[in-house]
Chains A and B, each alone.
Chain A
Amino acid sequence: MAARDSSLGWHLIRGYAMAVYLFMFLPIIVVVLLSFNASQFGSFPMTGFSFRWFGELWNNEAILRAFRTSLVLGLLTALISTTLGVLASLALVRYKVPGANTISTILIAPILVPEVVLAVALLLFLNFLGVPKSFGLLLFGHVIFTLPFVILVVQARLVAIRRDIEEAALSLGASPVQTFFQVTLPLMLPAVMAGALFAFTISFDDITGTLFWKPGGVETVPTQIFAMLRNSISPEINALGTVMIVMTVGLPLVGAAIARQMSKKSGL
């Protein structure tokens, strides 16, 4: 391992990866900077430093409510979508299913249809049935178009897990269910987590489908932003982005740092 860490190739790869990360972070840096901008309209150089938008965000019940809705919707979507996706992937990879290719294509179909069409089509069908819009419909709409992401990533991982490990467990007397939970699931856990992360972020960030399916009084963060576009997007949205980033990155990083610090001390 030491050889790898010091090799030139590894340094190159690390530098390359850092550059990719920097590219991904550019918009985030802008948003975080602008959330501390004193004036309402964002432009560089900034006119002053202020926590004003965080204060206003704190008092903006509408945005906070939308944020909670997005969070709940995203978590439920991730849960359902990942469950359905893992089951389907297992069937496709671990069993001989007649027409597996066709079924794979069918399962990926939701991302082949432009979302606006999917949105209108689903509404037409519900009208035909006479079912009113509800949070449940919105949730299932999100499940449908996050499912392909989960299935693709879980399948790719499952293929790489060698069957003989499972078979070994089975031959040692484990039941299929035991084998799944004690051997297969831990091995494919990274893919399951990645799939859940996909499902959550896509649901959290979805605009077109949500616009059409949301019932009265339900707003998500993206639909709130969309409706602000005509006039101007309030910097409170930037503040919300900053808060989310601090929450998702800051806390685990601080936690990891504390853990490292503690282990160092105990090591001494």
Chain B
Amino acid sequence: MTKMDNTTRYERLRERYMNGDLSRRRFLGLLGAAGAAYGLVTPYRALAQEVTEVRFDGWGGVVSEALRKYAFDPFEKETGMKVVDGTFGGSDEFLSRLKASQPGEFNIAHLSGVFDYARYADLGYASELNRDNIPNLELAIPKLVDVLAQYTDGKLSAVPYDYGTTGIAYNRAHISDEEAKEKGANLLIDDAYKGKIGGWAEWRTRVWMAALQTGQDPNDIQDMDAIWDAVRQHRDLALKYWTSGAELMSLLAEEEIYVTEAWSGRVYALQEQGHDIGYMDPKNGYGWQECMFVIKGSPMEACEELLNFMLSPETSIAVAEGQSYPPALDPQKVDLGDKIPELPAFDPTGTLDNLTFADPAYWNGHEADWSKTFGRVQKGY
């Protein structure tokens, strides 16, 4: 992407924000009357004369730095509103905090997976976005938007933000590309690598990988016993369940393990550091997306305006380059620069046809049961 392109695009976007600002003022005037329509608005939010701040929660480090620089600061300058940004260590943890919070306390959250969207929606946290206020949503990959809207009957409570895959990462010094290609997910239960295998301590991923190992459709598993057997088999061969991307990278880089499933962006970061780690998405590999979810009871127009800032190509690309996951923007409509097309899981067609996403209704339906069972299997039961 040339600098010229950047500047022109930015100017064009600025114009749109000006329009956005007008509608915000109108909104502020109407806020008092509209308060009741929000349902569960807190007293103090409804009484507020003016929306002065929006609360955002997401991942820290490179992600929050990029959002602060490219979205929050320009947004604050543009609108006079303040963005209060907080961080979390995972969407489960954030959900617990949300559950113990007062309505209206949290506004926008960076959540992973369609299943989180569904989970939050099922728990009654979904809001309804007005797409007209988020012109940049037009730039997003349609499939990513549709899969969210489908779950909430055509309404939208979030905008997609980035996507990636959970594939198989392997140390090239010990496992050849051919072997990885041939064995796929079965590498994770290969006796030859006993004690050199890792895995994410997360039930969805474990069940998904087991489905691939037992030759089942991850979104329609028939033989659950076979799944748990495969999970146990993996557990007995594994050295370690990792719980964070930092840990995953460290395990692979220090050659503590040779093979694990891994998040695409993390492997890319390792490769960039010069580590000889291979990465492959097995057939029916695990695709996922992340979204910016607006929680019920939030000041909608302010949030929509902020989302529009966040979806602008500058911000999206900066965040994407920081965390090494491709942005949700459609490469057919937006020039994503040089680095993004090199990221693993990147789809230049913008159709994402080669990725399999978790069916949110299916997975959330089994969440209580499977997460608990995995908790036991994981600990040797």
Contact = CB atoms under 8 A, between A and B. Distances in A.
Q: Do chains A and B touch in the complex (CB under 8 A)?
A: yes
Interface of A: 39-43, 62, 120, 123-124, 127, 130, 132-133, 211-212, 214, 216-219, 223-234
Contacts of A40: 273
A227 B266 contact: no
Interface string B42-83: 000000000000010001111111001000000000000000
A227 B270 contact: no
Nearest to B61: A228
B59 A132 contact: no
Interface stretch (B99-107, B297-305, B329-337): B99-107
B89 A123 contact: no
5 contacts: A39-B273, A43-B253, A120-B100, A130-B102, A230-B90
Given A127-B100, A130-B102, A232-B246, A227 B60 contact: yes
Given A226-B89, A231-B245, A217 B62 contact: no
A216 B246 CA distance: 25
Interface in B218-262: 244-247, 249-250, 253-254
B265 interface: yes
A212 B323 contact: no
Contact of A212 (B61, B97, B105, B265): B97
Most chain A CB neighbours (cut-off 10 Å) among B60, B62, B65: B60
A56 B18 CA distance: 35
Contact of A226 (B60, B254, B324): B60
A216 B273 contact: no
Contact of A124 (B60, B87, B100, B322): B100
B150 interface: no
A228 B60 CA distance: 5
A229 B89 contact: yes
Nearest to B107: A216
Given A216-B86, A226-B89, A229-B244, A41 B100 contact: no
A127 B103 CA distance: 10
Interface in B94-130: 96-97, 100-102, 105
The 8 closest A-B pairs by CB, nearest first: A227-B60, A227-B87, A228-B61, A229-B244, A123-B100, A216-B84, A217-B84, A226-B89
Nearest to A208: B93
B88 interface: yes
Contacts of B64: 62, 227
B89 A227 contact: yes
B86 A231 contact: no
A214 B253 CA distance: 34
